[in-house]
Amino acid sequence: MPKPVTLITGASSGLGAEFARQCARRGDEILLVARRQDRLEKLAAELGGKAHVLVADLATTGASARLLSEIERRGFSVEILINNAGFGLAGTFAELPLERQSEMIDLNIKALTELTHLVLPGMIARRSGGILNIASTGAFQAGPGFGVYFATKAYVLSFTEALHQELKGSGVRVSALCPGPTRTEFGAVAGARGERFDRLAAGAGGVVSAGLKGLEANRAVAIPGLTNKISAQSNRFLPRALVRRIVAALKL
């Protein structure tokens, strides 16, 4: 019998590493995926024998399928998938390199979609399992100055909500976690203007536990933190033109 595991993408830092720590604490067998092998091995050593390392660049063509074949070859079946790997880029669309923005779409959208499609048949057949997709509060509105990133997260939220509904009654739980700014390596990778981002940022621990609780309860959408909840909801009542101007003025 294949061993059930929790697969965490982007586990070498930030939210992914925190997901690994919290899932390890509750006793999950864990697969840690990212590009930086040294980081993953250090984390696996910290977590003990139940954490395993798989190095993959998920933005490359065919990476998701190769990863799933390797997981099967090692005798595991994915019980929980945490689609967490992702990055943002601060700057205007015209000025940012197209290559990096395409890479962002390949990771934040394509790899997440492919991994979900690859693990779902097994989960549906077993009538158990869970998929937690990491979106963002950026999913709720357009993001001038972070345009493609916010758009990728709008995709993640929309896709996840649809999947949640499609899988009602199947035994498979599907949730989107929508964090606001959180202290990880995200800001540095994105080239966000440090000071404002840092001032708004929450700790990773609470964000991750909100995500795991949301999945456990099969909530379609989990938004950690009161300010984030209010800002996500307020978008429904404010004129879109005003919301666009507010986000642009934040100069994230």
State the nearest-atom distance from the C-beta of 148 to ligand NAP, in Å.
12
| Residue (of 43, 113, 31) closest to 78 by Cα position | 31
Rounded-to-integer distance, Cα 69 and Cα 227, Å: 41
The phi, psi pair for 174, rounded to 5°, reads -140, 125
Rounded-to-integer distance, Cα 104 and Cα 52, Å: 26
Which one, 171 or 185, has the nearer CB to ligand NAP?
185
Annotated catalytic, 155? no
Our finding on whether 35 is near ligand NAP (CB under 6 A) is yes
Rounded-to-integer distance, Cα 124 and Cα 104, Å: 29
Are the C-beta atoms of 71 and 56 separated by less than 8 Å?
no
Which one, 88 or 130, has the nearer CB to ligand NAP?
88
Q: Choose which of 186, 214, 225, 252 interacts with ligand NAP (CB under 6 A).
A: 186
Our finding on whether 57 is near ligand NAP (CB under 6 A) is yes
Which one, 121 or 195, has the nearer CB to ligand NAP?
195
Chain length of the chain? 252
Are the C-beta atoms of 122 and 77 separated by less than 8 Å?
yes
Size of the site for ligand NAP (CB under 6 A): 31
Are the C-beta atoms of 50 and 24 separated by less than 8 Å?
yes
Which one, 8 or 123, has the nearer CB to ligand NAP?
8
DSSP 174-188: EEEE---SBSSSHHH
Rounded-to-integer distance, Cα 41 and Cα 216, Å: 28
Hey, which residues between 88 and 127 contact ligand NAP (CB under 6 A)? 88, 107
Our finding on whether 87 is near ligand NAP (CB under 6 A) is yes
* Residue range at the interface with ligand NAP (CB under 6 A); choices 13-21, 120-128, 222-230, 231-239: 13-21
Rounded-to-integer distance, Cα 16 and Cα 10, Å: 5
Q: Choose which of 46, 166, 185, 198 interacts with ligand NAP (CB under 6 A).
A: 185
Per-residue x/- track, 144-183, ligand NAP (CB under 6 A) = -----------------------------------x-xx-
Our finding on whether 85 is near ligand NAP (CB under 6 A) is yes
* The one catalytic residue among 76, 149, 155, 159: 149
Which one, 125 or 198, has the nearer CB to ligand NAP?
198
Which residues fall within 8 angstroms of residue 19, CB to CB, at 6 or more apart? 8, 11, 82, 84, 208, 211, 212
Residues at the contact surface with ligand NAP, assessed by CB under 6 A: 9-16, 34-36, 39, 56-59, 84-88, 107, 134, 136, 179, 181-182, 184-186, 189
User: Which residues participate in catalysis according to the annotation?
Assistant: 149
